[in-house]
Chain A
Amino acid sequence: MFDTLCVELAETEGALMRLIGLVERRGFTIATFEKSEARDGFATVTMRLTARDGVRNPDILSRQIGRLVDVRAIFTPEIAAASQAAHAPHQWSQACPPRI
């Protein structure tokens, strides 16, 4: 079972390493990984993931990713596609858990 997460990530030193490390440490395998070119200081990373034990919840993972200072938004491909179609990328951040 694979889940796809899209992460809007600041183009800052260590941000990518921080994101990948967190995903691996929290028990997920990255099956595919794609990073866009940065625009206005932010890039979009799309990952297809699977829990190593088949049990861990990607929703919890997305909230853990949301704690990273470098992350502006997390969303599913469906939200991304809808937002891009509506030319309203700022709506993506609605899927991001509250920063703590």
Chain B
Amino acid sequence: MTFRPEHELHARRKGRNIGVGLMLGAFVVLVLALTFTKVTSGDFELPKAEEIAN
């Protein structure tokens, strides 16, 4: 079995793709940190059981 050679496009756009990947990764980390901050803050309340049922 042979692998297809990598298209030159991937090599040419490597920097751009790595950059986009890093930004998306940073965004995920930021949303995670934001969520953690919100749910651990004093004024956060879980919805009550009857509200969930409705």
Do the two chains bind?
no
User: What is the interface of chain A, defined by CB distance below 8 A to chain B?
Assistant: none
